[in-house]
Amino acid sequence: MFRNRRNRKQLYSTPDYWNSKAVELEGDAVSMWPNNNLNRLYHREQLSIIDALLPDVEGRTVLDIGCGTGRIARYLAGRGARVDGVDFSERAIEIARGLSTGPNPSYEVESMFNLSAVDRYDIVVSWGSVAIACKNADELGIAMTGIVRAARSGARILLLEPIHTGFLHRVLDLGIAEFADVMRAAGVSVTDIRPLHFWPARLALSYISLPNFVTAPGYRLGQSVMRTVPSLRLGDYTAIAGTVEK
């Protein structure tokens, strides 16, 4: 696991890595971390920020980029949206399809660098895929241009991503302000930037499958510190949302 983290720049941007996680792990750990107790808490945190920033999804068309096994796609479909999930990991898409009970969400194997849709979506979301797929600002620009092309004018974009420079960065080594600038250059008017997933607790709790009586209090304490002192930038992830202007 730690070797994987050291080699993350090569690994995370290949479908093979995400296919192998799907074979080795189970539940949300396939697309998140080995500690499924923490994954459940993070899942709830993500849904509450999605509800806050995308209050009106019923009847809307939604694209979930890097959808993994479809956690967020299923949630949004349950709220009445028509959701397409895309991911370049064949195994993740196979699992997502297996977890479906009907045609919505629908899933395709597709890279975010080659999105086929044009002017189709009212909402585009992602958790943890864009800052993992893009190696630099140029690649982020290519991905954002494809996302904007796939979206309709006036569409909402909500990206929940590990946006960092230095120690905490995954693949993309870019600050939040620069990330927002790339979104603006692609045609997104950025409206919200919020922290999520207190990073010290994430580093301490995510890699080992700890019981919930250890995971939950550590997680909750971290969340309250992160929210009380936002200026410290204690979020491992950033929710960055905006509106497409075409």
Quick check: 122 binds ligand SAM (CB under 6 A)?
Answer: no
Length of the chain equals: 246
The residue from 38, 83, 92, 210 that contacts ligand SAM (CB under 6 A) is 92
> Judged by CB under 6 A, does residue 18 bind ligand SAM?
yes
Neighbours of 55 (CB within 10 A): 7
Structure tokens at 26: 């189970």
For position 87 contacting ligand SAM by CB under 6 A, the verdict is yes
Q: Which stretch binds ligand SAM (CB under 6 A): 97-105, 121-129, 192-200, 227-235?
A: 121-129
CA distances from 218 to 98, 167, 177, 178, 200 (A): 33, 22, 29, 31, 10
Tokens of 200: 């010290």
Q: Which tokens hold the place of 71?
A: 């956690």
Distance of alpha carbon 206 from the chain centroid: 16
Q: Of the two residues 52 and 229, which places its CB atom closer to ligand SAM in the complex?
A: 52
Neighbours of 32 (CB within 10 A): 22
Compute the least distance from the CB of residue 239 to ligand SAM, in Å. 13
Q: Which residue is nearest to ligand SAM (CB)?
A: 68
Nearer to ligand SAM, 68 or 242 (CB): 68
- Select from 66, 105, 187, 222 the one that contacts ligand SAM (CB under 6 A): 66
Q: Which of 45, 62, 68, 223 binds ligand SAM (CB under 6 A)?
A: 68
The single residue listed with the structure tokens 């397409």 is 84
Out of 63, 133, 148, 241, the residue judged to bind ligand SAM by CB under 6 A = 133
Binding test (CB under 6 A) with ligand SAM, winner from 75, 121, 127, 179: 127
Binding mask 187-216 for ligand SAM (x = CB under 6 A): ------------------------------
Q: Which of 21, 219, 230, 119 is nearest to 239 (CA)?
A: 230
Task: State the minimum distance, in angstroms, from the CB of residue 92 to ligand SAM.
Answer: 5
DSSP letter for 106, please.
E
Q: Which two tokens stand for residue 13?
A: 């941007």
Under the binding rule (CB under 6 A), the answer on residue 31 touching ligand SAM is yes
Q: What does the alpha-carbon distance between residue 146 and residue 118 come to, in Å, rounded to a whole number?
A: 9
Q: Which is nearer to ligand SAM, 113 or 191 (CB)?
A: 113
User: Which one of 50-58, 76-84, 111-119, 187-195 is the stretch in contact with ligand SAM (CB under 6 A)?
Assistant: 111-119
Torsion angle of the four alpha carbons 151, 139, 127, 204, in this order, in degrees rounded to the nearest 10: -170
